[in-house]
Amino acid sequence: MSNIAIETDALTKTFGDFTAVDEISIKVEKGEIFGFLGANGAGKTTAMKMLTGLLTPTSGKAMVSGFDVFSQSESIKKNIGYMSQKFSLYDDLTPEENIRFYGGIYGLDQHQLSKKRKELIESLELEKVRKKLVGSLPLGWKQKLAFAISIIHEPNIVFLDEPTGGVDPITRRQFWERIYQVAEKGVTVFVTTHYMDEAEYCDTVSIMVDGKIEAMDSPDNLKKKFKTNSIEDIFIRLARVAKRGDR
């Protein structure tokens, strides 16, 4: 219990007679970088939304940061960070104003806010654009700002939903370096992606197909098991029989 950050048992979500997430059982340790791979439509985002309290599961059990997802979702929210696919910053506010807003929402006091503000502007190199509206910033900058804001309250776990969508490979690499830095401090990182090469950066990788988890292990173990050198290969093999999503 004390070492496990996230645990689910036969977690399921159905919409009518469509089963988006089909009885998944996962275990994520504290400080781990857990990669949630899958094709579009496989159910990754739905699963993540259940863990962050945005969707109510249909059945099964799930525990995040020691709290039950069904009955204690509000407590979970105090301890997690979240970065959505759309990066969800306010386009009509400046980076500073976004930082101040989200920091305040998470309960940082005046002193902490001001400290964080300076820190973030510096480490993200946003000095020149601090007074510009976020809507006018390039995608890569929005991305790093959104990430920084998602952990502004120093949570135990951070959920990242397709955080590298749409940016170039160099920026992606740089982003993952930030993820490493954060994980080194002991934060559990739960990230969904459809970039197979990013799987290599994770401690544990799970591959979702049609709502079910078809494989879950460290990248090395998976490669050994499937006798191949690339995660992409494994994915293609498993996803070939998928009924949902694009082929």
Partner 1 sequence: MRIIKFLLQKEFLQIFRNKAMLPIIFVIPIVQLLVLSFAATYELKEARFALIDRDQSIASRELVSKLQATGYFTLQSEFTSGEEAQIQLDKGKVSFIVVIPRDFQQSLSSNNPTNIQLVIDAVDGSVANLINSYVNSIVRDFSIDKSASISLISPQNLQQASIKKISTQAINWYNPNLDYITYMVPGILVILVSMIGLFLSGMNIVREREIGTIEQLNVTPITKFQFMVGKLVPFWVIGMFDLLLGLTLARFGFQIPFLGSLTTILIIAGIYLVLIQALGLFISTITDTQQQAMFIAWFIMVVFILMGGLFTPIESMPMWAQKVTLANPIAYFIKIMRMVLLKGAGWKEVYGMVLIISAMAGGLLAISVNRYKKTSG
Q: Residue numbers of the site for partner 1 (CB under 8 A)? A: 15, 49, 52-56, 74, 77-78, 80, 82, 84, 86, 88-90, 92-93, 97, 100-102, 104-107, 133
Q: Between 75 and 230, whose beta carbon lies closer to partner 1?
A: 75
Work out how close the CB of 122 gets to partner 1 at its nearest, in angstroms, rounded to a whole number: 23
Q: Between 25 and 79, whose beta carbon lies closer to partner 1?
A: 79
Q: Between 134 and 242, whose beta carbon lies closer to partner 1?
A: 134
Q: Between 52 and 193, whose beta carbon lies closer to partner 1?
A: 52
Work out how close the CB of 135 gets to partner 1 at its nearest, in angstroms, rounded to a whole number: 11
Residue 160 CB partners (closer than 8 Å, separation 6+): 83, 147, 150, 179, 189, 190, 191, 192
Work out how close the CB of 56 gets to partner 1 at its nearest, in angstroms, rounded to a whole number: 5
Helix (H, G, I), strand (E, B) or coil at 220: helix
Report d(CA 44, CA 67) in Å as an integer: 21
Work out how close the CB of 37 gets to partner 1 at its nearest, in angstroms, rounded to a whole number: 22
Q: ∠159-88-103 over CA atoms, to 5°?
A: 75
Beta-carbon count within 10 A of 215 CB: 19
Helix (H, G, I), strand (E, B) or coil at 214: strand
Work out how close the CB of 228 gets to partner 1 at its nearest, in angstroms, rounded to a whole number: 37
Strands (E) located in 16-143: 18-24, 27-29, 33-38, 59-64, 67-68, 80-83
Q: Between 52 and 164, whose beta carbon lies closer to partner 1?
A: 52
